[in-house]
């Protein structure tokens, strides 16, 4: 059963599940709207536009997006090619800046960070999963999976204590020493999932994570992401063209021409 919501603002009336995880309290960011810690959404987007300029040509990739995602949500973003999915994920993940409007993750205003602060922010708060897996080919599955923890300066014992159980959890316990070329696409993407989750980020952003996988493997990967979302309480937002993937999401945001066209909430998904 699906319920369609009009307009772009989401999050109202949503049973947010787990509130912010313990130990994640941070100093409030005070903006014109008041202290953000009073708000419940882990992702907030307001009035975001993005105009790319190429010489004389202007491309309006986003034309005014508002979005609220509560902690623990598992949300798919769908829409035709060019509708702005990647652009919006990049704005939320502090990989790109909006032309107008703002985005916040866990109360951190990400849309105004300079490059250095944006890199720190990503390392502390966001896990990324990419369509092409983006593993380092000369590193083993284990070394790829621990990479974000290494960047954060976590010592080797603590890295192992986090990464080994996660690799076992995703069914790669016996393949930790293999390099990406010795793994299937689905196995490589599971390494990327562990890499994204190892830092226990506030949100995982995934841009078409199953686009390179066959449909059976896509379904398995989505089920795994959904289980980890429930077990770890981490918010997932991912873009996809695949209706079998969309079916598994609890909330579906349909983008069209740089705007939120429709929001669907699936009961029991
Ligand atoms: N760096 C850029 N420079 C110029 N135009 C861009 C740039 N990045 C994206 N665009 C344009 O912005 C619009 C939105 O692109 P975006 O990549 O966000 O769409 P998408 O929904 O992710 O599409 P797809 O499903 O094909 O991945 C498109 O018209 C695209 O050509
Ligand atoms: Mg895209």
Tens digits of per-residue pLDDT, 71-115? Answer: 999 999 999 999 999 999 999 999 999 999 999 999 999 999 999
Q: What mean pLDDT comes out for the span 128-150? A: 96
226 within some domain: yes
Q: 22-30 — which CB contacts under 8 Å span 24+ positions?
A: 24/106, 24/202, 26/106, 26/107, 26/108, 28/107, 29/104, 29/107, 29/108, 29/109
Nearest CA residue ID for atom 26, ligand 1: 81
**CA–CA separation, 240 vs 12, rounded Å?**
24
The CATH number of the domain holding residue 134 is 3.40.50.300
* Total structural domains within the chain: 1
Ligand 1 center–CA 77 separation, angstroms = 14
**CA–CA separation, 89 vs 93, rounded Å?**
6
Which residues form the pocket of ligand 1, taking CB atoms under 6 Å from any ligand atom? Answer: 52, 54, 59, 61, 79, 81-87
Ligand 1 center–CA 258 separation, angstroms = 10
**CA–CA separation, 29 vs 132, rounded Å?**
35
- What percent of the chain is predicted at pLDDT more than 90? 78
Q: What mean pLDDT comes out for the span 183-211? A: 96
Ligand 2 center–CA 215 separation, angstroms = 19
Whether 61 contacts 50, CB under 8 Å? yes
As a 3-state breakdown, the chain gives helix, strand, coil percent values, each rounded to 5, of 30, 30, 40
157 within some domain: yes
Whether 88 contacts 260, CB under 8 Å? no
Position 245 confidence tier, pLDDT thresholds 50, 70, 90: confident
pLDDT at 105: 97
Name the closest ligand to CA 85: 1
Give the tens place of pLDDT for each residue, 152-193.
999 999 999 999 999 999 999 999 999 999 999 999 999 999
Cβ-Cβ contacts under 8 Å for 163 (sequence gap 6 or more):
142, 145, 146, 149, 194, 198
Report the run of H or E that residue 186 belongs to, with start and end. helix 185-197
Q: What mean pLDDT comes out for the span 21-37? A: 44
**22 burial type by CB count under 10 A (0-12 exposed, 13-18 middle, 19+ buried):** exposed
Select the more confidently predicted residue: 102 or 243.
Answer: 102
pLDDT at 15: 32
138 within some domain: yes
Select the more confidently predicted residue: 48 or 55.
Answer: 48
Q: Which domain holds residue 232?
A: 71-95+115-265
**CA–CA separation, 26 vs 8, rounded Å?**
28
Whether 36 contacts 105, CB under 8 Å? no
253 within some domain: yes
Give the 3-state secondary structure of 190-233: HHHHHHHHCCCCCEEEEECCCCCCCHHHHHHHHHHHHHHHHHHC
Question: Tokens 């429709």 map to which residue?
Answer: 262
Whether 40 contacts 104, CB under 8 Å? no
Q: Is 150 helix (H, G, I), strand (E, B) or coil?
A: helix
Nearest CA residue ID for atom 31, ligand 1: 82
Which pTM was predicted? 0.85
Ligand 2 center–CA 80 separation, angstroms = 9
17 within some domain: no
For residue 18, pLDDT over 60 is answered with no
172 within some domain: yes
Give the tokens for residue 115: 């490059």
């Amino acid at each position: 059963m699906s319920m369609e919501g009009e307009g772009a603002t989401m999050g109202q009336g949503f049973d947010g599940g787990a509130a912010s995880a313990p130990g994640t309290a941070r100093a409030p960011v005070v903006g014109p709207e008041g202290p953000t810690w009073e708000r419940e959404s882990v992702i907030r987007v307001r009035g975001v536009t993005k105009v790319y300029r190429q010489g004389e040509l202007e491309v309006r990739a986003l034309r005014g997006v508002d979005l609220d995602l509560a902690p623990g949500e598992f949300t798919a973003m769908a829409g035709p090619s060019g509708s702005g999915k990647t652009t919006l994920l990049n704005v939320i993940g502090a990989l790109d800046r909006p032309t107008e409007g703002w985005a916040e993750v866990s109360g951190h205003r990400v849309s105004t960070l300079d490059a250095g602060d944006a890199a720190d922010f990503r390392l502390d708060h966001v896990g990324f999963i990419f369509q092409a897996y983006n593993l380092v080919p000369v590193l083993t599955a284990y070394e790829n999976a621990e990479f974000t923890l290494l960047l954060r300066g976590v010592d080797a014992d603590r890295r192992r204590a986090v990464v080994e159980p996660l690799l076992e959890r995703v069914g790669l316990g016996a393949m930790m020493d293999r390099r990406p070329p010795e793994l299937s696409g689905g196995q490589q993407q599971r390494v990327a999932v562990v890499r994204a989750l190892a830092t226990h980020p506030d949100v995982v952003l995934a841009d078409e994570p199953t686009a390179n996988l066959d449909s059976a493997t896509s379904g398995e990967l989505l089920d795994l992401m959904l289980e980890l979302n429930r077990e770890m309480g981490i918010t997932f937002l991912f873009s996809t063209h695949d209706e079998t993937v969309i079916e598994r999401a609890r909330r579906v945001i349909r983008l069209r021409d740089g705007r939120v066209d429709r929001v669907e909430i699936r009961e029991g998904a």
